[in-house]
Structure 1
């Protein structure tokens, strides 16, 4: 495998935390930088179904086709099944350059995640706050600070809640390609995340 190839894996502790949405939009960001493949390893095949309703600027495949398709890719984004156990999590972390753990800013989503990351120690992972209530709510910032204070690595970028992601999924495109100027801020959130990820991958 090419040493320049960067593999980013996205996993979550429960459904509905924006895992597949993050996989799709991070792959969209990478596709502007080089050949990118999204591997949909989730049983629900959310990303694959999304791609079939429209078109993505990169190929989306399931894990059975992945080896053939990722050979010459510069960036590989892997959407995994939700709810890994701690051993799976360690293996996922070993098998990629960066492991991203999306979580909603609520205690029901956070508690299982915090239990799991204790086992990860100093591996290459970062938490990502998703579905964050938009301004004027300070929920996201407060929680981000709490995580940092607890020694949990967390992205500066946060993904704000918007119905735009459902619109994008129905249209089969990333939110960047939905013709609605009000959704520019949603794509800006993922641009900010992508830039942070690139800094880490360097």
Structure 2
């Protein structure tokens, strides 16, 4: 069983979007369970259970309380994707990394995040925790260079990043409102492009955990 945790100290950085969309990708490769640990907002749960007759997910979904109440949590699944409660500090990220096959930390290149993120992740560097990757999300198109600038800052600081990023697209919010996978958003060419972005990330994850 591969446990993929998606966590972030900041909100609004694409944490649940990444967990949901990656779970949909992994579902095509093995039996997959998405676990929503944010039982206050339940973003992943609400998104994936909104449309009862929709069969496009391919994975099972549970709230964290139901997941841990099982005799053998995750038994029978090849992939368990954990959408954390959010707001994790440095010590929580260290613990998540140590209990996961891979920890994914999404962040937006908003021009002010790099220093704070480096400070948050410093304990992982100091304790030689290596099974995590930062995922740049909502990256604006050229000529805006925020994505590249932040990538360079994090790389210089020794923070491991995914080789690919997730582009900005309103298709993501459309998908969440409709309760469908971004792959199935109609009349929006960026929907397929974002799906392809996450396909590339899913391949990087698989290369790491297998």
Q: TM-score, normalised by structure 1?
A: 0.92
CA distance in 2, matches of 1:13, 1:175: 25
CA-based RMSD of the aligned residues comes to 1.5
CA distance in 2, matches of 1:46, 1:109: 23
Aligned pair partner of 1:76 in 57, 61, 80: 80
1:46-125 correspondence runs (5 A): 46-54=43-51, 55=54, 56-67=57-68, 68=70, 70-121=74-125, 122-123=128-129, 124-125=131-132
CA distance in 2, matches of 1:151, 1:172: 38
1:44-88 CA deviation, whole Å, 9 max, x = no partner? 110001012224221111112214462111000001111212221
Aligned to 2:186: 179
Moved more, 70-79 or 55-64: 55-64
Structure 1 spans left out of the alignment, 5+ residues: none
Note the C-alpha offset of 1:181.
Answer: 5.1
Note the C-alpha offset of 1:138.
Answer: 2.6
Note the C-alpha offset of 1:174.
Answer: 1.4
* Cα 1:83–1:52 shift into 2, 3 Å: same
Q: TM-score, normalised by structure 2?
A: 0.89
